[in-house]
Amino acid sequence: MQIHINSSNYQDQAGIKSKGEIMTVVTRFAPSPTGLVHVGSHRTALYNYIFTRQQGGKFILRVEDTDQNRYVEGAVENLLSSLEQLGVKYDVGPGKEDENGPYFQSKRRDIYTKEVQKLLNAGHAYRCFCSAETLEAVRKEQMEKHIPTGYNGKCRNIPKEESDKRAETEDFVIRLKTPQDGVCAFHDIVRGDVRISWSQVDDQVLVKSDGFPTYHLANVVDDHYMQVTHIIRGEEWLPSVPKHLFLYDCFGWEPPRMVHLPLLLNADKSKLSKRQGDVAVEDYLKKGYIPEALNNFLALLGWNPGGKNEIYSMEELIAAFDINKINKAGAVFDVQKLNWMNGQYIKNMDTAKYLKEARKWLENTKVNESKLDTALMAVKTSLTTFQDIPDKLTVFTGDPAIPDADAKEMLALDSTRTVFTSYIEKISILEELTVDGFKTVMQAAQAETGVKGKLLWMPVRIGLTGEMHGPELGYIAEYLGKEENIRRIKSWEAKKQRS
RNA sequence: GGCGCGUUCGUCUAGCGGUUAGGACGCUGGCUUCUCACGUCGGUAACACGGGUUCGAUCCCCGUACGCGCUACCA
């Protein structure tokens, strides 16, 4: 099946190896350095990466820094660092140059200038001398009259001689001379067949008055010369596809396959934004989310292999991914599910790795270094993110809490006194208090006092921590050590006698 | 306003004309002879609406509603 776009053809196929025709997949992630990397942006990078790895292709990172006004200091560093930390490795790009570089658009201006000249010569583009103010006034009037906004075509037909002459003294932009009627029909691997009337397509600015290209020009030129086969990007670009396709047509180039991903949304379905929570990859990393969990979660927003399992390593994602099964509808970024998933990753983390990572998150917690691992292991299954560690550790490292009413009631019980007496007696005999030793002690205490279950355990828990909740008691007992166990239990005895 | 894209449990989704519409998160009940967490066994809840096409529509077509996106010398 072929869909005609003016004079050029567009192949309706995913363009992947399984089609029989061997082609090397080339994709690119092309962010603008305008701030911290957004999770939605990272999701796009991830899909490019996963698809490319699966196809054995080449993944390009290209920095689209054509807007001098929006450039943010440090943004490129943040971009590189985010990709690095999340394990999304590009094959070519900044620092990994090849013959198709450079990979910063600001360093490719000569190329755009040369290409746009071809367009000018062929009559596919023209200089527009309208000032930004004029354009703004036109737009305002259009809005007031409730007619479609857009460029009015004022400079569309300025004769070449006049244009050349004015260009010597006046500021201008270069616009694309888009078709005025007919329909642009194209195929998108996610959206299927899409049709947009040319009457809806504005004469897009290709080169700004500062001489820099706009996204549309730079993007098309770069994707062509970098031999990109699949454009995988956010849905917000769908409406500008006709301009891009027209550019390919004017240049006589074959356009890549289009893959427009569904957007990531806030809980209220609006486009994911900072106002409603963290949106930067860095925010999540700082909060102790695990890169693998973040990737796993993001990969499943817009695509799902089906089945009961939700936990996929990068390798598994690469193996299972199917570009033809990407969803069309936007996906709400649900932190609750991310939290669950991150907890899963922590629980399943290899002990040595966990301990090493966990130690980075102690902050100012004062710990008994020799028993730290015991405490960290005790707390492992209760973590959502690593940031929870200091808080979870206070039961080990802090002073006993002040008992609440229920705890006091428990402490006041007659059976508690006998349990305490027996407990102290039994652990005093021990050489060292370990988790196993603690269990033995509790068994012995139960046999001696006849108290069992909650009435046996809870007083000891409260005696040691002041609280009725917390990690497994044996860990706490071991962490505190024999002397501290005795000291804490006795202090309750003492208080009790005083009252 | 115009154009485009979309719509399955609250959320992420499976489904590709015939299913008790499945799974995961969340919430919730039991078990786990200390609590919480973990784990485990259950429960909960959905095809936006209206027309077609068809023996039969969640699935195909049309319309409506709603949502989102685009409508910049930003990407």
**CA–CA distances in Å: residue A365 to residues A286, A295, A487:** 18, 30, 22
Which nucleotide is closest, CA of A216 to its C1'?
Answer: B75
**What's the Å distance between residue A26 CA and nucleotide B46 C1'?**
39
Strand B closer than 7 A to residue A148 Cβ:
yes
Nucleotides in chain B with any atom closer than 7 Å to protein CB? 1-8, 10-15, 22-26, 33-39, 67-75
Mean pLDDT for the stretch of residues A284-298: 97
Report the distance from CA of residue A323 to the C1' of nucleotide B12 in Å, as an integer. 18
For residue A172, the model assigns a pLDDT of: 96
* A338 CA to B24 C1' distance (Å): 12
Q: Per-residue pLDDT averaged across A81-104, rounded?
A: 96
Q: For A255-274, what is the mean pLDDT?
A: 90
The spacing between the Cα labelled CA in A389 and the C1' in B37, in angstroms, equals 14
* Residue A268, pLDDT score: 85
Q: Is the CB of A235 under 7 A from strand B?
A: yes
**A131: pLDDT strictly greater than 70:** yes
CATH top class, domain A1-93+217-348: alpha beta
Whether the pLDDT of residue A235 is over 60: the answer is yes
The answer to whether residue A62 scores a pLDDT higher than 60 is yes
Task: State yes or no: pLDDT of A214 exceeds 50.
Answer: yes
| Nucleic acid strand B within 7 Å of A151 CB | yes
Which residues lie across from A173 on neighbouring strands? A128
What single string gives the DSSP state of each residue in A380-401?
GGG-SSGGGHHHHHHHHHSPPP
Residue A92: the pLDDT is: 97
pLDDT mean over A439-455: 90
Asked if strand B comes closer than 7 Å to A202 Cβ, the answer is yes
What DSSP character marks residue A187?
E
A53: its two tokens: 């790895």
A388 contact to strand B (CB, 7 A limit): no
Tell me what the mean pLDDT of segment A284-300 comes to: 97
Query: Given pLDDT bands bounded at 50, 70 and 90, which one contains residue A14?
Result: low
The one catalytic residue in A114, A140, A165, A274 is A274
Q: What's the Å distance between residue A238 CA and nucleotide B70 C1'?
A: 8
Q: Strand A205-207 relative to strand A8-11: parallel, antiparallel, unpaired?
A: unpaired
- What token pair was written down for A291? 């890169």
Of the candidates A451, A448, A449, A475, the residue with the CA atom closest to the CA atom of residue A461: A475
CB atoms near residue A389 (< 10 Å): 22
- A269/B27 CA-to-C1' distance in Å: 21
Q: Could you give the residue range(s) of every CATH 3.40.50.620 domain in chain A?
A: 1-93+217-348
CATH of domain A399-498: 1.10.10.350
The mean of the pLDDT values for chain A is 91
Burial A170-204 (b: 16+ CB within 10 A, else e): eebbbbbbbeeeeebebbbbbbeebebeeeebebb
Q: Is the CB of A327 under 7 A from strand B?
A: yes
Is the predicted pLDDT of residue A8 greater than 90, yes or no?
no
H/E stretch holding A207: strand A205-207
Q: Could you identify the residue whose CA is nearest to the C1' atom of nucleotide B12?
A: A301
Nearest protein residue to B73's C1' (by CA)?
A: A208
Q: Quick check: is A274 catalytic? A: yes
C-alpha to C-alpha distance for A329 and A260, rounded to whole angstroms: 11
Q: How far apart are the C-alpha atoms of A228 and A235, rounded to whole Å?
A: 18
pLDDT at position A357 is 97
The pLDDT assigned to A412 comes to 87
Cβ-proximal residues to A136 (8 Å cutoff; 6+ apart), any chain? none
pLDDT digits (tens, 9 = 90+) for A311-320: 999 999 999 9
Considering only CA atoms, give the Rg of chain A.
32
Query: Which nucleotide is nearest to A34 if distance is taken from CA to C1'?
Result: B75
Q: What is the mean pLDDT of residues A7-13?
A: 37
Q: Where in chain A is the domain with CATH 1.10.10.350?
A: 399-498
Cα(A294)–Cα(A274) distance, integer angstroms: 18
A343-382 tens-digit pLDDT = 999 999 999 999 999 999 998 888 888 899 999 999 999 9
CB A381 under 7 Å to nucleic chain B: yes
Mean pLDDT of A142-147: 84
A397-425 pLDDT, tens per residue?
A: 988 888 888 888 888 888 899 999 999 99
Query: One-letter amino acid identity for A310?
Result: E
Q: What is the pLDDT of residue A16?
A: 60
Residue A127 has a pLDDT of 97
User: Cα–Cα distance between A485 and A432 in angstroms, integer?
Assistant: 11
Q: Kindly state the average pLDDT of the residues A98-103.
A: 94
C-alpha distances in Å from residue A79, one per residue of A128, A249, A361, A492? 35, 33, 24, 56
Q: What is the pLDDT of residues A317-342, one digit of tens each?
A: 999 999 999 999 999 999 999 999 99
